[in-house]
Each structure stands twice: as C-alpha cells, then as structure tokens.
Chains A and B, each alone.
Chain A
Amino acid sequence: MSIKKNDVVVLPCSGIGKAYGTLARETAYELVERVRPGLAKLTCLPLLVINDPQAKQLVMNNPVITIDGCPKGCAHKSVESVGAQVAKAYQAIDFYKAHKELKPDGITELNDAGRRLAAVAAEELSQVVDALAAGEEG
C-alpha cells in the first residue's frame, strides 16, 4: 500500500536587490525542479501579501519551508501574516557560511559558484523535505 505524502511548500523571499535573495530563489527552483519534483511545490510569495485564497490554502494545508535572502525574513513573516506556520525557516547566507568556497554573486543571474551553492543547498534540504512530506518534522 502506498502512503500518501504531504506536498511540501518551498517559499523563497521575493528579494530583488540582493544576491542572497537570488540564491534563495535558485535553491527553491533546484528543490522543486530537480531534487524533489512532484513533492516540493512553489508559489509566488507576493500572493500571500495580497491574501490570495488559493495561496493561503496551500500554506495552511501543507508544511512550509521558507528561505530568506536577509534577516528581514520576508518569506517567513509573509507566511505567518496569513495565519499559517513555518515548519523550517532558513536564511540563504547560512548556505554560504557552510560552503565558503562557493561565494554567490549577481542579482539578475547568479554566478557559477552561486548556482553550485544552490544545488548543494537543495541536496541538503532534500532530507528536510522528505521528513516533512512523511509528517516526521515540523
């Protein structure tokens, strides 16, 4: 018998001015498109800012991972603002602190090191996604 798993919502912040905002977004894309497609889901964070009913339902009904580009914590706070809870909150700079050989740079497009860092970070987060999907964490 197959066990139904939760979708896990991965929300990067909508940073437009910092390389770490771009790193947050790239890490989310890596998780959703390459590392855990079909399990990790993405939505536009600004939909929570306008209280969109579907986006709200998505974060209310599934475990949520946020990845923020700076200590302002926009993704984290936006989820909480609609009354949902964040299961795991990350700051993209911590991915770099753990892998100092990969320094992210670039706002519109990340440099190669930043892209590799996003790939590595997504691999590391995959275990958290799996645990949340199985209802083991949060």
Chain B
Amino acid sequence: MAIELMKVGIISCSGEELPGGTVSRIACRKVLDDLRATETVTICLPLFIAGDQGQREFASNYPTITVDGCDKYCAKKSTELLSGTPKKYILVPEILKRHGLEAPIHRRDLNEKEKAAADVVAEEIARAVDEVLNE
C-alpha cells in the first residue's frame, strides 16, 4: 500500500521590482530544492489569476506557507483572496530584522551578504515547514 506523505505548499511573492522579493524567491527555491525537497511543493503565484480551478485549489490541497518580500504581502493576500487561508505567513524584512541583518539593496544579483541573508530566511521557512508537518 502506498503511503501518501503530506506536503507543504510554499508560495513566494517573487517580487521582481524589490530586493526583498528576490530574497523571498531565492530562499523559497533553497527550501524547495535543497532543505525540504521531498516535503514541499510550489506554484507560480499569478496562476491564481491565470490558471484553472485546480490551481486555485492549491491552498486547500496543501497546508500553505506564504513568503513576502515587503509589507504589501502580495503572496499572503493573493492566497487568501483566491485560494485559501495560509497556515503561516512569513515576511522577509521581519526575519532579517530579527537576525540583525541589513535589508538587501540588489534586486537582480544578490551579493554574498545578501545571499547569506537569503539562507537565513530559507532556514526559517524550513522550520515553519516542520512546524506545519508536526501540527
């Protein structure tokens, strides 16, 4: 009998204009590809608008964590509006502040310091994944 493992949905705001969005995207990819590769799935955020009903059911099908690059909260709000209530929501600037890290200034290519900050955010997302799975 196949045992289906529960997966956690990760939705990054992916903001193109702001450095926080880039940190969000890179941190989420690290969780999806590396830190919690077998426990997580993702979806491109604008598919809530452009996709079909199945894609809009993402947050009903998976307990979901949203990650936002600034306090516009695009990932959290669009998930709430179009898919379902996220289990947890993470704000990149809040995590950086908590760890005493500077706000990133590059939106295209993060420098070494900013990449290290993205790693810290990724660790926090991974911890949130574990919490959701252990609930």
A-side residues, CB < 8 A to B, are: 12-17, 21, 25-26, 28-29, 33, 42-50, 52, 69, 72-78, 81, 107-109
Q: Which residues of chain B come closer than 8 Å to A12, judged between CB atoms?
A: 16
B17's contact among A15, A44, A50, A75, by CB below 8 Å, is which?
Answer: A44
Of the listed residues B50, B72, B81, B82, the one surrounded by the most CB atoms of chain A closer than 10 A to its CB is: B50
B48 at the A interface (CB under 8 A): yes
Known: A16-B28, A42-B17, A44-B17. A77 touches B50 (CB 8 A): yes
| B29 near A13: Cβ-Cβ < 8 Å | no
Cα-based distance from A43 to B45 in the complex (angstroms)? 15
Closest B residue, CB atoms, query A41: B17
* A72 in contact with B78 (CB, 8 Å): no
In the complex with contacts A12-B16, A14-B14, A46-B78 CB distance below 8 A: yes
Given known pairs A49-B49, A49-B78, A50-B74, the reply for A15 and B44 (CB within 8 Å) is yes
Contact across chains for B16 and A45 when beta carbons are under 8 A apart: yes
CB distance from B2 to the nearest CB of A (A): 25
Max count, chain B CB within 10 A of own CB: residue among A13, A48, A73, A75 = A13
Cβ–Cβ contact B108 & A77, under 8 A: no
Contact A14 B50 (CB under 8 A): no
Least CB distance from A86 to B in Å reads: 13
- Across-interface contacts of B91 in A (CB, < 8 A): none
How far, in angstroms, from A77 to B49 measured CA to CA in the complex?
A: 7
**In the complex, A44 Cα to B21 Cα: how many Å?**
8
A9 to chain B, nearest CB (A): 11
Q: With A44-B17, A44-B18 in contact, do A49 and B12 touch (Cβ < 8 Å)?
A: no
Which chain A residues border B109 with CB–CB below 8 Å? 109
Chain A residues lying within 8 Å of B17, measured Cβ to Cβ, are 42-44
Name B28's closest neighbour in chain A (CB-CB).
A16
Q: Which residues of A contact B29 (CB under 8 A)?
A: 16, 107-108
| Cα distance A74–B14 in the bound complex, in angstroms | 13
CA distance A92 to B18 in the complex (A): 22
A28–B16 Cα gap in the complex (Å)?
9
B90 located at the interface, meaning its Cβ lies under 8 Å from any Cβ of chain A in the complex: no
Residue of B nearest to A46 (CB): B74
Determine which residue in A45, A50, A75, A77 has the highest number of CB atoms from chain B within 10 A of its CB, and name it.
A50
Asked if B125 is an interface residue, CB under 8 A from chain A, the answer is no
B88 at the interface (CB under 8 A from A): no
Q: Shortest beta-carbon distance, B40 to chain A, in Å?
A: 12
